[in-house]
Amino acid sequence: MTQIDDIKLSNAQIAWRAAQDIDDGAYVNLGIGFPEMVARYQREGCQAIYHTENGILDFGAPPAPGEEDWDLINAGKKAVTLNPGASFFHHADSFAMVRGGHLDVAILGAYEVAETGDLANWSTGRGGVPAVGGAMDLVHGAKRVAVITDHLTKKGDPKLVSKCSLPLTGVGCVTRVYTSLAVVDIEDGHFVLREKLPAISFDDLQALTGATLHTTDTVGDLIVPEL
């Protein structure tokens, strides 16, 4: 696996790749943590509009340290700023945007993604304090639900699986997974490989994936700049 660690994309690079698929004017929700990084790599000339569950549309970059307004935060409770054209609304209106299918894309992290599109990303099932936040709403709301994740767990197990073993966040909801090794679509209950790192063979990638990787046409090269 050390070989994989040498070639695999960094989180920043995964976020960069996910950002390339976001269109100008798209309404986007980025999950707390790693997915928030996607906003840094918006394509030139593409202005996405970011939604946060706690009632802001079109928030912008973090303020300078010391300039925080703690009534102007995102769902991760980090201070943000506003872009021109921003708006505030209450939580029911915010989730009307989510549940009502008004977001173009939600990008979330994952513990596991199944070939059926099932997602597990809220509970390790190991006890402790459960906490779900807005994840279960987002997976059934956005027009496109994408996941960004390392291809493997820290222990080296596949995160792309035939069936999730952890408590589900949603059923049949994920349509694309950006991993540290590949871009995989979910279609009709199958993983369909779209892009892979040139440095890894299909067979090696399949061996690191917990369900069959299907292909159609040519598999593209996953090429990402140094970041």
**Residues contributing to the site for another protein (CB under 8 A):** 24-25, 27, 47, 49, 51-58, 68-73, 77, 82-103, 118, 128-137, 140-141, 167-171
For residue 212, give the nearest of 163, 170, 168 by alpha carbon: 163
How many Å is the maximal CA-CA distance in the chain?
A: 52
CB of 118 to another protein, least distance (A): 8
Identify the active-site residue in 36, 44, 53, 67.
53
Nearer to another protein, 29 or 180 (CB): 29
- Please, what is the minimum distance in Å from the beta carbon of residue 161 to another protein? 16
Q: Is 53 assigned a catalytic role?
A: yes
CB of 139 to another protein, least distance (A): 8
Question: Taking the CB of residue 37, how many other CB atoms lie within 10 A of it?
Answer: 20
3-state class of 169 per DSSP? Answer: coil
Cα first-last separation, the chain: 23
Nearer to another protein, 125 or 220 (CB): 125
Measured from the Cβ of residue 170, the count of other Cβ atoms closer than 10 Å reads 21
Instruction: Give least dist CB 75 to another protein, A.
Output: 8
Nearer to another protein, 76 or 158 (CB): 76
Structure tokens at 181: 């090794």
Please give the distance of CA 36 from its chain centroid, rounded to a whole number: 9
Residue with tokens 């939600």: 106
Distances (CA, A) of 156 to 15, 138, 151, 160: 21, 28, 9, 12
Residue closer to another protein, measured from CB, 125 or 156: 125
Residue with smaller CB distance to another protein, 12 or 96: 96
Question: Comparing C-alpha atoms, which of 42, 2, 50 is closest to residue 23?
Answer: 42
Find the helix or strand (DSSP H, E) in which 206 lies.
Answer: helix 202-207
Least distance to another protein from the beta carbon of 121, Å? 11
The residues that are catalytic are 53
